[in-house]
């Protein structure tokens, strides 16, 4: 008894000062409390905390939650609770107990508006029993900038949630900035009021202005245990209710739902809030040293066809290298036949490569294992995954799976066609950004919409708007506005969306872009209102960066510089001038103000650095990697499993330098081995070289086909702002022949040594279908069905090994019946690079065209389909009954 009494006094001392609730409601050991309490209040973790929440139990046993800011209600009492297939926990509840604690966490982000985070929240758990005896805990957390709650169902072997009653009730006349719901969050955000909003569903986050106190509604900590939610609204009502993406959500055991989250405060508090991340699970990664935010050169928006062109991609690499940008993104259309070469070209110039994927190419464990391992072996640094377009529990389970795999492979991630961030960038720090925004790729840019994003979508996490797209002709923004989006919008990877020529033609814009970081130590709102203006100050290290975008008539923006430290500062501003972009600089201190003329729908970027005598610009040198040469011999080789090849490499610094910490080595593929030492040099000066020689042995179980044996040189160079090694690589292209075919062999049964396809994968014994492997139909041409063959989509190529042992190829070729409109293609055959046959244009309705071609002596046979000269739409091409006759 004595020990119990001592603990009781400790609880009273610690808990009562933190809470505004009556003492009887605080003490879980009080039987009277559990019988009589019907209202419970929770205030933030400090006595002066402005935010509080009140939970009430009504006479029907239903719960409501209200939120107040500085004593004024901003969210009126609104229902909370949920239903499962076994229990209705929206009414008939009985209070059991209350427990309280303070949650304090410190963590560091790899991306975002603030690197180092400090979270402190008061947490209260209110336990209830439903009419069926099911226990439900309502867990509330209140911080200085918001309120969050979740449901915990602890005593179950499994359950199925069918509905949440969770709702919010801002005043009906509160101005609101809402996003009509679509699963990719790319609809146009609208300005309305809470009550006047149309009936229907709205996506998170949703922003309301309650007499100058802003409330941002969203959610945190959603993963595969649950589905994503959204808000649903009845016309004329101010109440918004949570609607789940799935009709049923299954849990195999105890369940803790996502946090229903309301960020509350003045606009500056809401904009700078990190509450969504604070509520999320801690990082699952212990080593984040390989994760690097940065600027990305991206070609798809300005040139849709460019991702199919390796020459053009190398031009983007050259542009990125000249300007010190960290990455290029090769979007939809790349081909595995040339990507490794572009990756090597880029890395030798200090630029890393990111690759685009449709999510269905990575939707199984087998696809993720094979594909991600392959691109990692090429040296790819990260992936952009697109078109998930779902908030279902199944899709969040897929997110869990691909995030675990990419983390294991040390591949960074950008999600497009995606859901919004719900704390994902804290839990998985290799997520650099997510789309979930109506970005520049919509080709209709409006200043009024742009100025909503900093106060809505971008508050909850990185936003891949793909900024600075001068190429968009349907825009009402100025050039300075476009440049400023790069700073005003936060994204760990900023995908600059225009072509090199458009940036080079605006040298002042490019000069500014080259100086802007993409992650921040601190962020402050300096002024603005959604749909009108947004002005932010961000700090990276000792430098400050101020940016603004406007959707109002021309004006003078002014702000005190009190956030600067002591001393004198050089303040350098890029803004709109009467004849284009202009740059201005002056010296100031923290007692001064920043005054910038802002054009109608304009913007500006200001860089602020420490002033020293004679300094005229804040520009820092951009990273430019020295040019080096790596020659590898032989360029090509052929070997059998278990056999060896001799490889040599010479690495040279033609001019400049010196470079240091140089290493030259061979990196054999998995299962292969290499004899010979790594060659090292502490320094290499201009004109000097190092060389190495190795004996490489193929794996005894080496798969047939082509494999690269890379020779790699790494080095560092003086004054590198990123302080990381440069990777230079060339490879010996080694061919491992498969067994020679014999007798009558169907081409669809042979190993494919190379394949490419205009849409989805090449299909064996089925038509092309859509994006997924195996989704085609039986091969059918003009009503004739074929059991064997290859289904492709122009343009396509398939290469198989004949080994010089076959005499003839026979096939029936044509457009598959699965297409509903006319396609046109041409079928071609190549033997060892020499054209053997060309059908000319074949159209839908022509029927199956017989093909018989002499392939005597051919080692490599390539079956190629072109688009017939009129584009690739509906070009589903069948090599039906394709077979070779061999010795």
**Catalytic sites, residue numbers:** 386, 441
In sequence order, what are the beta bridge partners of 148? 141, 261
Q: Exposed, middle or buried, 421 (CB in 10 Å: 0-12/13-18/19+)?
A: buried
Residue 879's H or E segment, with its range, is: strand 876-886
Contact criterion met (CB below 8 Å) for 153 and 135: yes
How far is residue 822's CA from residue 282's CA, in Å, rounded to a whole number?
54
How far is residue 792's CA from residue 816's CA, in Å, rounded to a whole number?
9
Provide the token pair at 747: 């081409």
How far is residue 209's CA from residue 215's CA, in Å, rounded to a whole number?
6
Nearest-5° angle of CA 433, CA 439, CA 442?
A: 140
How far is residue 72's CA from residue 86's CA, in Å, rounded to a whole number?
38
What is the widest separation between alpha-carbon atoms in the chain?
A: 99
Provide the token pair at 113: 């508006």
Least Cα distance to 559 among 534, 579, 542, 583 occurs for 534
Least Cα distance to 57 among 29, 36, 75, 43 occurs for 36
Provide the token pair at 593: 């103000």
Contact criterion met (CB below 8 Å) for 249 and 451: no
How far is residue 741's CA from residue 346's CA, in Å, rounded to a whole number?
39
Contact criterion met (CB below 8 Å) for 238 and 170: yes
Q: Is the dihedral of CA 392, 395, 396, 397 positive or negative?
A: positive
CB atoms within 10 A of CB 816: 29
Helices (H), 280-430: 310-323, 339-347, 365-378, 393-409, 424-427
CB atoms within 10 A of CB 135: 16
């Amino acid at each position: 008894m004595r020990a119990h009494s001592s603990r009781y006094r400790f609880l009273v001392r610690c808990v009562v000062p933190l809470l505004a609730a009556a003492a009887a409601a605080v003490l879980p050991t009080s039987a009277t409390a559990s019988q009589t309490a019907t209202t419970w209040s929770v205030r933030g973790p400090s006595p002066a905390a402005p935010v509080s929440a009140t939970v009430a139990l009504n006479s029907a046993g239903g719960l409501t939650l209200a939120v107040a800011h500085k004593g004024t209600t901003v969210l009126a009492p609104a229902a909370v609770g949920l239903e499962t297939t076994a229990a209705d926990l929206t009414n008939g509840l009985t209070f059991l107990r209350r427990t309280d604690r303070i949650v304090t966490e410190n963590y560091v982000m790899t991306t975002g508006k603030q690197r180092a985070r400090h979270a402190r929240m008061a947490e209260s758990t209110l336990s209830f029993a439903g009419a069926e005896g099911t226990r439900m805990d309502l867990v509330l957390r209140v911080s200085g900038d918001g309120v969050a709650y979740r449901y915990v169902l602890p005593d179950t072997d499994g359950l199925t949630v069918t509905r949440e009653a969770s709702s919010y009730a801002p005043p009906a006349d509160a101005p609101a900035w809402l996003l009509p719901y679509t699963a990719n969050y790319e609809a146009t955000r609208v300005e309305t009021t809470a009550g006047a909003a149309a009936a229907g569903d709205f996506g998170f986050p949703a922003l309301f202005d309650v007499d100058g106190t802003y409330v941002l509604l969203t959610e945190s900590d959603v993963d595969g245990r649950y589905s994503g939610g959204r808000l649903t609204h009845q016309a004329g009502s101010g109440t918004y209710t949570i609607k789940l993406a799935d009709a049923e959500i299954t849990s195999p055991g105890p369940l803790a739902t996502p946090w229903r989250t309301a960020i509350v405060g003045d606009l500056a508090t809401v904009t700078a809030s990190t509450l969504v991340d604070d509520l999320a699970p801690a990082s699952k990664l212990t080593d984040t040293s390989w994760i690097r935010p940065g600027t990305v050169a991206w070609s798809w928006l300005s040139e849709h066809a460019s991702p199919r062109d390796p020459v053009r991609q190398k031009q983007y690499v050259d542009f990125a290298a000249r300007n010190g940008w960290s990455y290029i993104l090769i979007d939809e259309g790349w081909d595995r036949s040339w990507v490794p070469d572009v990756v090597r070209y880029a890395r030798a110039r200090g630029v890393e490569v990111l690759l685009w994927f449709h999510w269905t190419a990575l939707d199984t464990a087998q696809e993720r294992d094979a594909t991600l391992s392959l691109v990692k072996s090429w040296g790819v640094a990260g992936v952009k995954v697109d078109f998930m377009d779902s908030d279902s529990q199944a899709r969040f389970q897929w997110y869990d799976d691909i995030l675990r795999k990419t983390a294991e492979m040390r591949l960074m991630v950008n999600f497009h066609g995606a859901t919004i961030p719900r704390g994902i960038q804290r839990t998985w720090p290799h997520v650099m950004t997510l789309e979930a925004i109506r970005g520049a790729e919509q080709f209709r840019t409006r200043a009024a919409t742009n100025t909503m994003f900093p106060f809505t979508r971008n508050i909850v996490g990185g936003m891949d708007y793909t900024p600075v797209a001068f190429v968009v002709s349907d825009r009402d923004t100025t050039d300075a506005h476009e440049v400023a989006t790069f700073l005003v919008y936060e994204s760990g990877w900023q995908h600059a969306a225009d072509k090199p020529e458009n940036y080079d033609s605006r040298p002042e814009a490019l000069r500014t872009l080259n100086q802007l970081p993409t992650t921040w130590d601190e962020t402050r709102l300096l002024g603005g209102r959604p749909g009108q203006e947004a002005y932010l100050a961000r700090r990276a290290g000792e430098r400050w960066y101020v940016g603004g975008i406007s959707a109002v008539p021309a004006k003078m923006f002014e702000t005190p510089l009190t956030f600067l430290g002591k001393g004198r500062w050089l303040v350098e501003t890029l803004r709109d001038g009467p004849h284009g972009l202009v740059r201005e600089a002056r010296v100031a201190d923290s007692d001064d103000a920043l005054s910038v003329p802002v054009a109608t729908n304009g913007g500006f970027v200001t860089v602020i650095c420490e002033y020293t005598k004679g300094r005229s610009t804040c520009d820092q040198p951009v990273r430019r990697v020295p040019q080096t040469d790596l020659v590898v011999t032989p360029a090509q080789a052929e070997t059998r499993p278990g056999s060896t090849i001799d490889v040599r490499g010479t690495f040279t610094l033609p001019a400049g330098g010196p470079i240091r910490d140089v290493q030259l080595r061979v990196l054999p593929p998995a299962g292969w081995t290499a004899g010979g030492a790594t060659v090292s040099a502490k320094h290499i000066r201009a004109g000097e070289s190092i060389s190495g020689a190795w004996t490489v042995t193929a794996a005894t179980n080496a798969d047939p086909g082509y494999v690269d044996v890379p020779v790699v040189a790494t080095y560092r160079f003086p004054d590198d702002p990123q302080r990381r090694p440069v990777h230079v690589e060339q490879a010996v292209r080694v061919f491992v022949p498969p067994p020679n075919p014999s007798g009558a062999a169907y081409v669809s049964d042979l190993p494919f040594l190379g394949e490419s396809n205009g849409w989805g994968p090449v299909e064996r014994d089925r038509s092309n279908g859509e994006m997924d492997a195996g989704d085609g139909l039986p091969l059918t041409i003009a009503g004739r069905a074929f059991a064997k063959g290859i289904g492709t989509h122009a343009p396509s190529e398939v290469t198989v090994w004949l080994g010089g042992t076959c005499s003839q190829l026979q096939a029936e070729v044509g457009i598959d019946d699965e297409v509903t409109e006319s396609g046109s293609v041409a079928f071609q055959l190549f033997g060892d690079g020499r054209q053997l046959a060309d059908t000319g244009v074949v159209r839908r309705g022509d029927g199956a065209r017989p093909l018989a071609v002499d392939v005597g002596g051919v080692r490599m046979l390539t079956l190629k389909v072109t688009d017939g000269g009129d584009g690739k739409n509906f070009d589903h091409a069948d090599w039906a009954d394709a077979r070779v006759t061999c010795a």
